Amino acid sequence: MTSNQTEKCRAFHALHQRPGAFVIPNPWDVGTALYLQSLGFKALATTSGGAAFSLGKHDGGVPLAAMLGHIRALALSTEVPVNADFESGHSADMRVMAANVRLCVEAGVAGLSIEDSTGDSARPLYEFAQAVERVRAARAAIDASGMPVVFTARAEAVLLGIEGGFEDSLKRLVAFAEAGADCLYAPGLRTAEQVTTLVKAVAPKPVNVLVGAPGFTVRQLEDLGVRRISVGGALARCAWGGFMRAAKEIAEKGTFESFAEGAAYRDIDGFFRGLANG
């Protein structure tokens, strides 16, 4: 933990407090993080799915040590604040989860998110009271670190397709806000009415909305009162889409037409040469 991290944390807090909305795109490795930074984005966020796919794992299948290494690499290689998608804290045990949150802070992040999903299909969400206590424990771990990391609490019921998921998420996020979360997040919202209802319910605390498919625009979400917009694994999926189409074409047809859609080598290499040359 460094003074530079403190400055990034303060800058990240400021982004959440000023009027309007900002986009926090999700790179999946250092190269994509540096490119997104070059486009002028003021903050970045990791993606558990994108990171997992790059390591040959399923989403949620990356061990804690490897995920911390990934998070640290992105946080230390960029000059903008990085928010860690820290899944459910990598432990069902609340005390271990809190200790893991402290390790995530020490990895150099300016923000981190904790979700209320268990990873167990038979019991996909922590019970309400337990989920709230986990938010309190994560908040306490961040405060004990002395680093002013922005803490985002996530309610996953809508994303998981649970019946009555929006109402459940709304109840949880209101409680998470009271338990100390700085920003509230229910991935999977699809309608303007849902977004508006959530924004009003947790005001004045900021809301993050996930955009993983065509639909909302930045301006529309800003008009609905959203402060932060992330894209989750969408950019990684776009890259995988191009790769899979080209690879399947070679395997199935013996042709290489998809290569015409690839970025020019000189553009990619030139970008990183420019960074190396200062």
Instruction: Identify the segments of the chain with pLDDT beneath 70.
Output: 1-2
Q: Where are the alpha helices (DSSP H) in 153-214?
A: 165-178, 192-202
C-alpha span between 121 and 186 (Å, rounded):
19
Q: Which CATH superfamily is domain 3-232 in?
A: Phosphoenolpyruvate-binding domains (3.20.20.60)
Distance of CA 264 to the CA centre of its chain: 29
Task: Please state the φ and ψ torsions of residue 112, each to the nearest 5 degrees.
Answer: -155, 155
* Per-residue tokens: 124: 């996909």
Domain ranges of the chain: 3-232, 233-278
* Per-residue tokens: 274: 């420019």
pLDDT confidence of residue 1: 54
For residue 207, give the 3-state DSSP assignment: strand
Burial of 255 (0-12, 13-18, 19+ CB in 10 A): exposed
What is the identity of the amino acid at 153? A
C-alpha span between 15 and 227 (Å, rounded):
8
